[in-house]
Amino acid sequence: MKLPAERQAQEEEDAGEQKTPLWIFGYGSLVWRPDFEFSSRKVGFIRGYSRRFWQGDTFHRGNDKMPGRVVTLQEDYDACTWGVAYEVRGEQIAASLQYLNMREAVLGGYDTKLVKFHPQDKEADEPILALVYIATPQNPTYLGPASEEDIAAQIIVSSGRSGHNIEYLLRLADFMRYFCPQVEDEHLFSIEEALVSILPCLCQAEEPLVEV
């Protein structure tokens, strides 16, 4: 079932118009690698959701035997999640939706919702309606909650076709530090801290024995 924004985009495409822009909110790898054409982008946040490394990934950042951990959103009335909203226009709309439906929702278990996006720049007076993809517990690779230490340990040993799971975590943490320095993402930074504390132990364990 399509959301109103998706239906409108499809109707305008069928009519050969596509005048209304569509905004797409990214909160995971989309913040640094959208991989679709867009007209503009804005850093900002949505309210009512918290970002969690509860979604398994057996393709981009893991495999069937060793799934990686990527983020999804959980409803959380008092929380807000920072990310990037991309404005797509004209032919960009159909192309971006087709790409995201393959990238984000090909396995099922994803919801698409319209959310109010609040841009970081002070010139924007009103929030912008944006489309967001959210993995649900019905997703076949959904993993659910775990301790920060367990999530970090899983990330360290996972990699997929888009690269190592560590890169995914560190890029997301870097985005938050560089573009949202005033925001403390406790879940994200706690996992990063746990990962950094585990890595030296692994390196020492893998050092070859030196004969005397």
Coil/strand/helix, residue 194: helix
Query: In the prediction, which pLDDT does 18 show?
Result: 54
Helix ranges restricted to H, 18-164: 91-105, 148-156
Q: Cβ of 107: how many Cβ atoms within 10 Å?
A: 12
Q: What is the pLDDT of residues 118-144, one digit of tens each?
A: 999 877 678 999 999 999 898 889 999
Residue 15 lies in a domain: no
User: What is the arithmetic mean of pLDDT over 30-55?
Assistant: 96
Distance CA 165, CA 61 (A): 5
81, 27 Cβ separation under 8 angstroms: yes
Q: Which residue range is the domain that position 66 belongs to?
A: 22-196
Q: Please indicate whether residue 104 is annotated as part of the active site.
A: yes
Q: Tell me the CATH number at 60.
A: 3.10.490.10
> Structurally, how many domains does the chain consist of?
1
Query: In the prediction, which pLDDT does 134 show?
Result: 94
User: What residues contact 63, with CB distance under 8 A and at least 6 apart?
Assistant: 158, 159, 160
- φ/ψ of 92, rounded to 5, equals -65, -30
User: What residues contact 67, with CB distance under 8 A and at least 6 apart?
Assistant: 56, 57, 58, 141, 143, 154, 158
Catalytically annotated residue among 17, 75, 104, 126: 104
Residue 9 lies in a domain: no
Residue 206 lies in a domain: no
Instruction: Assess whether pLDDT exceeds 90 at residue 209.
Output: no
> Could you tell me the two tokens for 83?
């990310």
Residue 4 lies in a domain: no
Residue 211 lies in a domain: no
Distance CA 58, CA 32 (A): 20
CA distances from 29 to 21, 48, 68, 83, 137 (A): 22, 20, 13, 10, 20
Residue 205 lies in a domain: no
Question: pLDDT over 90 for what percent of the chain?
Answer: 72
Estimate the crossing angle of helix 186-206 against helix 148-156, to 10 degrees: 50
Distance CA 71, CA 63 (A): 16
Residue 107 lies in a domain: yes
Question: pLDDT over 70 for what percent of the chain?
Answer: 82
State pTM to two decimals. 0.85
User: What is the arithmetic mean of pLDDT over 22-34?
Assistant: 96
If residue 193 lies in a helix (H) or strand (E), which one and from where to where?
A: helix 186-206
Residue 164 lies in a domain: yes
